[in-house]
Amino acid sequence: MEKEDLLLVKGMQFWAKHGYFAEENKLGQRFVVDVEVATDMSYTCLTDDLTGALSYMDVYALAAKVVTQEEYRTVQRIAQRIADEIMAAHQVKQVRVTVKKPSVAIGGIVEYSGCSIVREPQNL
């Protein structure tokens, strides 16, 4: 069985102005982001030390930066940018990013719309 350590940060909520339509960019809306990062956490597990390790705070800060300081038309691009930031800042095996829009106007009632992407660093 292959070892897979996952760092999880789920349900991060941000108010931001992303969207395909002008009203979304003008008024803003809530976005919910989940991130799963496959990374070797052996050192932290054995030493109880976060030195040099990817932490929950790192993931939150990178996601917050993308969602609140950048503007995009699609949730797919937001997810890609979050994955890019995490992979650029830390050595990881894989990143799954889910971006949800709970208040989407699609002519019906839904819990949310959104996307999930899985990315791996190119230099593995």
Kindly list the catalytic residues. 101
d(CA 52, CA 54): 7
Residues pairing with 101 in the sheet? 113
The amino acid present at 25, given as its one-letter code, is N
The edge-to-edge listing of strands for the beta sheet with 94-101 is: 6-16, 29-38, 94-101, 113-119
Beta-bridged to residue 113, according to DSSP, are: 101
Q: What gap in Å lies between CA 47 and CA 17, rounded to an integer?
A: 41
Tokens 């040099």 map to which residue? 52
